[in-house]
Structure 1
Amino acid sequence: MKVVVVVGGTGLIGRTLVARLAEHGHEAVPAAPSTGVDTLTGEGLKEVLPGAEVVVDVSNSPSFADDDVMAFFRTSTTNLVAAAKEAGAGHYVALSVVGTDRQPDVGYFRAKVAQERLIAESGLPFSIVRATQFFEFADGVADTSTTDGVVRLPGAGVQPMAAAEVSAAVGRTAVSGTPVGGVTEIAGPEVFGLDEWVRTVLTARADPRPVVTDPEAPYFGAVPGPEDLLPGPGAQLAETRLADWLAQVVTG
């Protein structure tokens, strides 16, 4: 059994991760502002981290504005790394995003690169898990890409996966006993065009917005290349296919 503190432990990935770790006999402690832990101010870190063998960071910035997200990950990670070292944690695990190092024009990706660098240079044994887009984010992608009722997206390749399988992969890394000391990539089992993926989800949800394929349309501020959002060779592939996930969430 391991004692694992999950920072961001009440969010989409975190709450599932906490439950999964507990089911497997580990002591999983959620850490979030709602539990009295604020990584931006450092409040609660000295209280929650002592005794933690593993610290898992699946937190996210409340704002995706370029300056805000950079400030969040730099400040939060600096505070977390310092507190984890002081507490004697033996493994620091962070969730990141596939393609962060390929799109420097995307502010969110620049911030994740900064986070990864802080962790890698911390001196802590660490593992960084980069995941592809979550199935659950398709609606959000559509919303940010809608103008005058029309969704415009490029056909860049994506390999999305279910959030539950992201949690499972992060959990396996956290309790594996051997820090990677680098990056592991995880992805879904199928490749889609970004436009095709979102169109499929909107159709299944009976969302009337048309999805137009536009090679010049940006994705969160930049136009991705054909393979910028795809994992490299050796990525761990999840099992849940998009159609099966949609059958569960749309029809129940």
Structure 2
Amino acid sequence: MKIAVIGGTGRIGSQVVRILNESGHEAVPHSPSTGVDLLSGKGLAEALKGADVVVNLTNSPTFDEASPAYFQTTMDNLLAAAEAAGVGHAVVLSIVGADEVPDLVYYRAKVLQEDILKAGPVPYSIVRSTQFFEFMDAVLTWTADKKTVRLPATPIQPIAAADVAQAVADVSAGAPLQGTREIAGPEVFALDELGRITLAAHGDQRTVVTDDSAGMFAAASGDALVANDGAVIFKTSYRDWLAR
């Protein structure tokens, strides 16, 4: 199959392209650097010409009030171009629990993206992932100073980006789900515990202070960020990933 991967030069997209090509498909990466701009629609018709599948791995440049407009515009452009090109399957990567954290505007924006896809003219699949291992270092900077890092005890079930890429590639090469597949790593942590594990692995002497009002993930209640029953659970553990 010919598969157009929009956002195909990024962390997940570049791995998806490699996996699909190694599996015998013709996966082509597209991004602003290759002349495709999903926000303006520039280059989109050419990118989707002859494609059987389009995978959208682009992301809003901000997590703030501008994010819903970004996803509205980019999804409208993508689906119009996909329908015109006769693309038979559209795939989007989203977030486990996006609909359970309404206080986060970015999560509401991701739900909007999903809803536009579901209501659109192209058969679809949604892959909902838990948080990536690779984001943990950034999370540690949000509420940190020279001596302490404040984190909530929010339950979280992180996953390796390589496993996310494999899941997206698998779904992209299959028939449209007309639904959602959840994916997650094998372990559930409290976020503050995960912070302590991460700092120890880096030899960082700062102390993690449990603060259930600290950072973006404080807005998630209960098990919102933990995969639901029926999710595909990948085997890579956080400690094994850190050790690499």
Which TM-score band (shorter chain)? over 0.9
Unaligned runs of 5+ in 2: none
Q: Distance in 1 between matches of 2:85 and 2:206?
A: 50
Q: Distance in 2 between matches of 1:193 and 1:225?
A: 12
SS where residue 118 of structure 1 aligns? helix
Cα deviation, residue 202, structure 1: 2.1
Instruction: Give deviations 1:177-207, integer Å, cap 9, x for gaps.
Output: x211111100000110111112211221123
Counterpart of 2:102?
104
TM-score, structure 2 normalization = 0.96
Counterpart of 2:27?
28
Counterpart of 1:238?
234
Counterpart of 1:217?
214
Q: Is the 8 A contact 1:70 1:110 kept in 2?
A: yes
The 4+ residue runs of structure 1 with deviation greater than 6 A are none
Cα deviation, residue 148, structure 1: 5.9
Q: Distance in 2 between matches of 1:37 and 1:89?
A: 17
Q: Distance in 2 between matches of 1:149 and 1:87?
A: 55
Q: Is the 8 A contact 1:5 1:48 kept in 2?
A: yes
Alignment of 1:21-100 (within 5 A): 21-64=20-63, 66-100=64-98
SS where residue 87 of structure 2 aligns? coil
Counterpart of 1:184?
181
The more displaced of 54-63 and 127-136 is: 54-63
Instruction: Give deviations 1:161-188, integer Å, cap 9, x for gaps.
Output: 1000000000000001x21111110000
Q: Is the 8 A contact 1:10 1:32 kept in 2?
A: yes
From the superposition, tell whether residues 107 and 148 of structure 1 become closer, same or farther in structure 2 (CA, over 3 Å).
farther
Unaligned runs of 5+ in 1: none
Quote the RMSD (CA, aligned, Å): 1.2
Q: Distance in 2 between matches of 1:96 and 1:223?
A: 18
Alignment of 1:156-175 (within 5 A): 156-175=154-173
Q: Distance in 1 between matches of 2:155 and 2:166?
A: 24
TM-score, structure 1 normalization = 0.93
Cα deviation, residue 242, structure 1: 0.7
Counterpart of 2:153?
155
Instruction: Give deviations 1:101-121, integer Å, cap 9, x for gaps.
Output: 001110110110110010000
